[in-house]
Structure 1
């Protein structure tokens, strides 16, 4: 990667990924795009990813060699607006893949544990297993995984991707995902020393701290392509946890913290269809993936960073 175009650059992942890419490759070599106009120190272009012509023009204008396609509606939001989710999540992906094909670009887009469904093995979910999701977001992600594989095998596009678990960050606000409670709980701990979870007790899901997620993207994109047997949709994870595990970890640093529950049936149904814990062996063997943050290390950093942020 030498010159990178990022779509959805100021969403949940992009907000921090753009900064990391600028640090690694130089601000002038990272072209940030988003549907909303945003102040940015480096090159920025306003872009609706459903406009394939505009996407092509931007990629050609800046002579990029890589597209990181992040623009998407997340799980809970997608379930409320399924047609819009299909138009953005799949229409935008096809457009980005077409640009990568026409200009011979390297390509990254994230998949998700949402690509799994109720029939998927819940524990140590294999890299290659049944995927029959019951949400529009999940259908989008499975379709996207297959589409990226197709563009690699049919057209030789250097496509790469991971299945992200729930991502936890103190930088970007929650963006309509089912795992957003795992971000909200830290903010409420600092603000109110209490949190009401919309996800039920003993509901385990995979999670990851954002620094590990960003490092995984860069590591995969820089990996030797000859070693990538899967290329797209690598399982990666760091933490398998339920709401009470987050509460217990927070109580290590804030003993007065209290957790209670008011379960949202819609988001709980989505959570129940996802794995408890996925197997990341393929990512470790093929490109050296390894997470550095466990739950308690992440909790300490989240509480410190949010407390400092609130004081500003």
Structure 2
């Protein structure tokens, strides 16, 4: 039977580009986008779209049956910064959306499920350099706590009920095609907009705060790639890495292309979150188990971002 794919949260930063890539691979009519708000023009015009509230399990079930869905990508989440402002709302959305889909998968409505985790699962006691797949995991943010709980529930449903659920611990993601959604690494996207428009940027992190990052195309390829093997031998949620840099290092790379660019620093509450996260990631398990390999490096990412935004700003 051909794959029929539902992307829930298709109007978000990852979901938008994921839908378009999946439609390129599987055909427009076989990939149904869904969200509580409409997506961008290309998503809405290139294939089916359903207005869908993932918190309503019966509504989700109806869409699954209507389109004879086999795979679901659940991309709904309230991210780190916004979650800290409203912890209970973030916990409710991040966890109950997952429970609804896990239950539907357990009851046979979905054959395979993708759910995004994050480096936010790690905390201040986690090793910073080349953070291992298996290590101390004690998150200190609402977002991280919900992602760690989600990982454990995904493992439970896989082991207890045989649910085929797969997950990636995303690092910070960088793209010019969609705006960031309230994460601690958003500066790495904002800086490009400001470099082109104003030739200056005030960063909300300290200049030497190193964090793991990834260009969106690599994240999309990994998200689709982890769904391809018939089974995964080791984990539900895999570490994923590409490159790491600080705001100062990124600013220097931008200055190579825009010499007049200037950066200043005014750390806010996001600095406290960033200090609890890893600086680099050991993703050797993902490379071994399902062939993960990033394609875009830091310098290439800077070129892509500046070129892409010149045509959109």
Q: Aligning the two structures, in what range does the TM-score lie when normalised by the shorter sequence? A: over 0.9
Does 2:146 correspond to 1:140?
yes
Post-superposition shift, 1:224?
3.8
Measured against aligned partners, the alpha-carbon deviations of 1:73-114 in whole angstroms (never above 9, x if no partner) come to 011011101111011100001001111222242000110000
Alignment match, 2:256: 252
The residue number in structure 2 matching 1:95 is 100
Query: Which residue is 1:280 aligned to?
Result: 283
Q: Secondary structure at the match of 2:264?
A: strand
The residue matched to 2:227 in structure 1 has which SS?
Answer: helix
Match of 1:299 among 293, 302, 309: 302
CA distance in 2, matches of 1:108, 1:146: 14
Three-state SS of the structure 2 residue aligned to 1:146 is: helix
Q: Tell me how far 1:253 sits from its aligned partner.
A: 1.1
Deviations 1:121-171 (A, max 9, x none): 111100011111111100000001111111111111111110000000001
> 1:37 & 1:299 partners in 2: Cα distance?
30
Given that 1:206 and 1:238 are in contact with CA atoms closer than 8 Å, whether structure 2 keeps it comes out as yes
User: Who is 1:120 aligned against?
Assistant: 126
Count the aligned residue pairs: 307
- Spell out structure 1 runs of 4+ moving beyond 6 A: none
**Residue 57 of structure 1, CA deviation:** 1.1
Say whether the 8 Å CA contact 1:18–1:32 is kept in structure 2.
yes
CA contact (8 A) 1:50 1:87 kept: no
The 2-side partners of 1:228 and 1:241 are apart by 31
Residues 207-240 of structure 1 deviation map (CA, whole Å, 9 limit, x = unaligned): 0000000000111111241x5311x211011111
Which runs of no fewer than 5 residues in structure 1 stay unpaired?
none
Structure 2: how far apart are the matches of 1:139 and 1:304? 37
The question of whether the paired residues in 2 share the 8 Å contact of 1:165 and 1:207 is answered with yes
Unpaired stretches in structure 2, ≥5 consecutive residues: none
Which residue pairs with 1:211 in the alignment? Answer: 217
CA distance in 2, matches of 1:237, 1:116: 14
Q: For residues 219-264 of structure 1, give each alpha carbon's deviation from its aligned partner in whole angstroms, at most 9, with x where no partner exists.
A: 1111241x5311x211011111110111011111111111110111
1:1-312 pair list within 5 angstroms: 2-38=3-39, 40-41=44-45, 42-102=47-107, 103-225=109-231, 227-230=232-235, 232-264=236-268, 266-310=269-313
What CA distance in whole angstroms lies between the structure 2 residues aligned with 1:33 and 1:4? 11
Q: Give per-residue Cα distances to partners, 1:15-58, cap 9 Å, x unaligned.
A: 10000001000111111110113461211111111111111111
Partner Cα distance (1:21, 1:161) in 2: 17
Taking the aligned partners of 1:223 and 1:250, their CA distance within structure 2 comes to 38
Q: Is the 8 A contact 1:166 1:179 kept in 2?
A: yes
TM-score, normalised relative to structure 2: 0.96
Q: Secondary structure at the match of 2:241?
A: coil
RMSD over aligned CA atoms reads 1.1
SS of aligned partner of 2:138: coil
